[in-house]
Amino acid sequence: MIDGKKVLFSGMQATGNLTLGNYLGALKNWVNLCDDYECFYSVVDLHSITVRQDPSELRSRARKLLSLYIAAGLDPKKNCIYYQSHVSGHAELAWILNCFTYMGELNRMTQFKDKSSKHADNINAGLFTYPVLMAADILLYQTDVVPVGKDQLQHLELTRDIAERFNGVYGDVFTIPEPYLGKAGAKIMSLQEPEKKMSKSDENVNASIYLMDDPDTIMRKFKRAVTDSEASVQYNDTQKGIHNLIDIYCACKDVQPEDVVKEFDGKGYGDFKTAVGEAVVGVLKPLQDEYNRIIKEKDFLDSIIKENAEKAQYYSTKTLRKVQRKVGFPDRIR
Ligand code: TRP
């Protein structure tokens, strides 16, 4: 608890371009969470170097992501948006938690198996202990809830196991975090293979709408979106492509699928796709304008980066000192 509010933590990597799926499924829905939770959103650059990065590229992407979060409506005075590498406690707690995590547990992590097969030439120890760093991120702020996608649930489960193990030895040190089960955002699927989630790492650029796509690109990608031969805008499980387009339209326009089916009754897919494209442009254009404005506000961004790092440092140090004391490190002399 911070000031009577539960704590919410999420981390995101500044690698890859965020998609419409990331926005409608997550980001957009986070904007109001700060009314009910004390929110921390970390740009997790320590995690990023588990695979090789170009240094200047990583630095610039991190700043872009941070700006994008602000452009999307996360008020940086109410949400702690900060760089993980600016807060030393993440790495320090991760070391300690490494000593409370078993090799066998890490060996079972599916993301490690995936990533090590993708980067077979660089299976470094960081990639292996990545979930422990993630546990440290979460536990460092006495987090109550973590909004995560399905792919990260296994890591959250491990975080809980590590926290319970530690508490079992030393008493109630860590809050046990839960997955955040708020109002679910829209689940947006690939425009080319609508049975697959829209992903920032999809090799087919036509499968995803990137948040920075210009209007022409957006319209073109929707024109090419895979549909079916029913030629009727209906909301059901067999017309997966149309289902996805309806979901996107609903999320952009704040309407219900029934309304969309009525609105496009008797109209062809061409008209519908154009309408969906325009709805998406209507949402992304203001976001892009705001982003382009913020990214140029150097002093503003720098002050946010500094203030929020200090805030994160303050709360994380509280937990870290407690943990260091519990495991038996000598007190600091003041
Ligand atoms: N591992 C997460 C991902 O790849 C990012 C992440 C790092 C994270 N630390 C976190 C997510 C803490 C939630 C909480 O998407």
The yes-or-no answer on residue 200 being catalytic is yes
Are 277 and 309 found together in one domain? no
Q: Residue 221: give its domain's CATH number.
A: 1.10.240.10
11: closest CA among 97, 84, 85?
84
Task: Give the C-alpha separation, 88 to 129, whole Å.
Answer: 17
Q: Mean pLDDT of successive 10-residue segments in the chain (334 residues)?
A: 95 89 90 96 97 95 96 96 98 98 96 90 95 98 92 95 98 97 81 94 93 97 96 95 96 95 96 98 97 97 98 98 98 92
Tokens of 327: 């495991």
Are 118 and 245 found together in one domain? no
Are 172 and 213 found together in one domain? no
17 occurs within a structural domain: yes
Q: Can you tell me whether residue 306 is helix, strand or coil? A: helix
What are the CB-based long-range contacts (under 8 Å, 24+) for 216-220?
A: 218/277, 218/280, 218/281, 218/284, 219/274, 219/277, 219/278, 219/281
Q: Residue 137: give its domain's CATH number.
A: 3.40.50.620
159 occurs within a structural domain: yes
Q: How far is the CA of 159 from the centre of ligand 1 (A)?
A: 11
Are 152 and 246 found together in one domain? no
194 occurs within a structural domain: no
Are 285 and 313 found together in one domain? no
Whether 13 lines ligand 1, by a CB cut-off of 6 Å, is yes
Please provide the size of the chain in residues. 334
Are 82 and 131 found together in one domain? yes
Question: Atom 12, ligand 1: which residue's CA is nearest?
Answer: 11
Are 148 and 10 found together in one domain? yes
Exposed/middle/buried for residue 86 (C-beta within 10 Å: 0-12, 13-18, 19+): middle
Are 66 and 124 found together in one domain? yes
Tokens of 72: 């999307």
Q: What is the pTM of this model?
A: 0.92
Are 118 and 163 found together in one domain? yes
The yes-or-no answer on residue 197 being catalytic is yes
Are 152 and 81 found together in one domain? yes
Catalytic residue chosen out of the listed positions 5, 6, 187, 200: 200
187 occurs within a structural domain: no
Sheet with strand 37-43: strands edge to edge: 79-83, 37-43, 6-12, 145-146, 178-179
Amino acid at residue number 23 = Y
198 occurs within a structural domain: no
334 occurs within a structural domain: no
Whether 47 lines ligand 1, by a CB cut-off of 6 Å, is yes
241 occurs within a structural domain: yes
256 occurs within a structural domain: yes
The count of domains in the chain is 2
Q: Can you tell me whether residue 8 is helix, strand or coil? A: strand
Catalytic residue chosen out of the listed positions 64, 197, 240, 273: 197
Q: Which atom of ligand 1 is nearest to the CA of 131?
A: 1
Are 309 and 282 found together in one domain? no
Q: What residue numbers bound the domain in which 272 lies?
A: 205-292
Are 170 and 32 found together in one domain? yes
Question: Atom 14, ligand 1: which residue's CA is nearest?
Answer: 10
Question: Atom 3, ligand 1: which residue's CA is nearest?
Answer: 12
Whether 145 lines ligand 1, by a CB cut-off of 6 Å, is no
